[in-house]
């Protein structure tokens, strides 16, 4: 079935450091890919999305490119801030197995220190 | 932000009692979902709905039932709550099955 694998956390960075959180997927068909962010005590917020190969999703300085050849959707940000501290989830839907369901990765805890 | 509310936001109950959680949306989206989030397990789908009175099971549906009698409301019922159902429950909505899902603020449920 469809699956999503994220790099293991937690990740700790200093403010203004470069961020990469790796995400790879396994799916048949043509899935859409998403990154969600969850701040402490809150629900998940959609951060960005990409619906087809080579699409780049971007929002709030974060970017991710849908790479079908490497089945990846890595999240990047050039300069992180303390306020970016949160848990980040990679997810997919629309694969032949997942259909209308979201398949999530396990999440990556990011802590940014001043 | 998508118009999604969940009620109650916090609940403490005793083992064996029935519990109903409500999700309400103002976006007129067709799809609605219930997830639970537990440490070490990430988010797991309980049930979802693809239209009024149309529902299907997710990966952890045992002990839960759902109902959707109108587009805006999706109810999750724990028929007889157990301590293993202590969790944070999230509702989500989407316009179509493969589009982005938008999440509510969550309900923290403690079963004693």
Mark yes or no for CB contact B98/A93 under 8 Å. yes
Residue B100 is nearest to which of A42, A49, A105, comparing CB atoms?
A: A49
Q: Give the β-pairing of A11-14 and A108-113.
A: parallel
Distance from CA of B47 to the nearest CA of A (A): 10
With a cut of 90, say whether residue A29 has pLDDT above it.
Answer: no
* Alpha-carbon span B64 to B55, nearest angstrom: 12
Q: Name residues whose C-beta falls within 8 Å of residue A52's C-beta, 6 or more positions apart in sequence.
A: A30, A66
Mark yes or no for CB contact B98/A99 under 8 Å. yes
With a cut of 70, say whether residue B1 has pLDDT above it.
Answer: no
With a cut of 70, say whether residue B2 has pLDDT above it.
Answer: no
With a cut of 70, say whether residue B97 has pLDDT above it.
Answer: no
Looking at residue B3, what is its pLDDT? 92
Please check whether residue A104 is in contact with residue A4, taking contact to mean a CB–CB distance below 8 angstroms: yes
Mark yes or no for CB contact A43/B90 under 8 Å. yes
Residue B45 is nearest to which of A32, A49, A101, comparing CB atoms?
A: A101
Taking residue A44's Cβ as centre, other Cβ atoms within 10 Å add up to: 28
Strand-pair partners of B87: B109
Looking at residue B41, what is its pLDDT? 78
Residue A59 vs residue A103, higher pLDDT: A59
């Amino acid at each position: 079935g469809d699956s999503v694998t994220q790099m293991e956390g937690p990740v700790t960075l200093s403010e203004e450091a470069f961020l990469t959180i790796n995400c790879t997927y396994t799916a048949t068909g043509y899935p859409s890919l998403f990154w969600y962010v969850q701040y402490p005590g809150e629900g998940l917020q959609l951060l960005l999305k990409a619906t087809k190969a080579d699409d780049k999703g971007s929002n709030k300085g974060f970017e991710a490119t849908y790479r079908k050849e490497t089945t990846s959707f890595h999240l990047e940000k050039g300069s992180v801030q303390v306020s970016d501290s949160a848990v980040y989830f990679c997810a997919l839907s629309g694969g032949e197995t997942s259909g209308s369901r979201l398949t999530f990765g396990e999440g990556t805890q990011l802590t940014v220190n001043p | 932000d998508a118009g999604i509310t969940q009620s109650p936001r916090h609940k403490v109950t005793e083992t064996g009692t029935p519990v109903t959680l409500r999700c309400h949306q103002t976006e007129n989206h067709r799809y609605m979902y219930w997830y639970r989030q537990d440490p070490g397990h990430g988010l797991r789908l309980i049930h979802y709905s693809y239209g009024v009175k149309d529902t299907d099971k997710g990966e952890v549906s045992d002990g839960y039932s759902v109902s959707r009698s109108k587009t805006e409301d999706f109810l999750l019922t724990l028929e007889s709550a157990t301590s293993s159902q202590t969790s944070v429950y999230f509702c989500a909505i989407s316009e179509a099955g493969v589009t982005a899902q938008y999440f509510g603020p969550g309900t923290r449920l403690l079963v004693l």
